[in-house]
Amino acid sequence: MTMLQVTPNGPWGKDAHPAMPVSLDEVVDEARECFAAGATGVHLHVRDESGAETLDPAFVNETCRRVREVAGGPVEVGLTTGAWIVPERADRIAMIREWEGVDVATVNLSEDGFDEVMRSLLDVGIGIDVGLWSPAEMPALLASGLLPRAARVSIELDAGEPYFLEGPPETVAQRVNDLLDEAGSTCPRLTHGMNDWTWPLVRDAFRRGHDTRVGFEDSLLLPDGSTATSNADLVRAAVALRTG
């Protein structure tokens, strides 16, 4: 069975949606509801006591522990390593080295020094989740030599910044998949989109047998265009598409 991941908040706050989970208790409660709705993985943007994103192991480790407590069974717990959260790479890597309870972490190929961050994950036994935003990033990934060591490639596509991708989202996804196939990559793939590309790429992922994700990080809207009241609504909609 492919993984259905939930991304409950990303970098967004309650100005984006009043039910956006920001505090630790809110994130844990939302995760519990999403697991009950059918999510089998979670991608976390951990917050500190003020609600700001953080990579501090004190907050990361407690958040992961509590999320696992409410899972009701085995789930994948993933994190972001976004450079915007801790811009100084040495500080970011020092924090990563103290993380506990993290299965995989997404490293964006668009960020300087991505290969160094990836190697730090390998050093501490955390899987590399490659954040690939465009076919244009494939040469850098191949040059790093790290693709064979990745736990997963997350094909993360959006018509907006920074690449302003053009064409049907499924066509762009096909281009990325073709490049990965040509590189001989056999690691799992997670396909997802942002905003208007969210649901077309969820459907594309199910068609391909890929993992996929939904959540307020990517889109607040259900397949019919109405606004979801919670992340669990989005998970239930994805489950319905997979089984329908």
pLDDT per residue as tens digits for the range 34-43: 999 999 999 9
Question: What whole-number percentage of the chain has pLDDT above 70?
Answer: 100
Q: How far apart are CA 10 and CA 3, in angstroms?
A: 19
Can you give the residue range of the structural domain that contains 100? 4-243
Given a cut of 80, whether residue 14 has pLDDT beyond it is yes
Given a cut of 90, whether residue 121 has pLDDT beyond it is yes
Q: DSSP strand E in the chain: where?
A: 4-6, 41-44, 76-80, 104-108, 127-132, 152-157, 189-193, 212-214
DSSP of 181-192: HHTT--S-EEEE
pLDDT per residue as tens digits for the range 136-151: 999 999 999 999 999 9
Provide the pLDDT for residue 72. 87
Given a cut of 90, whether residue 243 has pLDDT beyond it is no
The single-letter DSSP state of residue 151 is S
Q: How many residues does the chain have?
A: 244
Provide the pLDDT for residue 244. 74
What average pLDDT score do residues 24-39 get?
98
Given a cut of 90, whether residue 224 has pLDDT beyond it is yes
The edge-to-edge listing of strands for the beta sheet with 212-214 is 189-193, 152-157, 127-132, 104-108, 76-80, 41-44, 4-6, 212-214
Give the count of domains, the chain. 1
pLDDT per residue as tens digits for the range 51-104: 999 999 999 999 999 999 999 899 999 999 999 999 999 999 999 999 999 999
- Could you tell me which of 126, 183, 177 has the C-alpha nearest to residue 155? 177
Looking up tokens 């040509």, which residue turns up? 182
pLDDT per residue as tens digits for the range 150-173: 999 999 999 998 999 999 999 999
| pLDDT, averaged across the chain | 97
pLDDT per residue as tens digits for the range 173-203: 999 999 999 999 999 999 999 999 999 999 9
Give the CATH number of the domain where residue 173 resides.
3.20.20.70
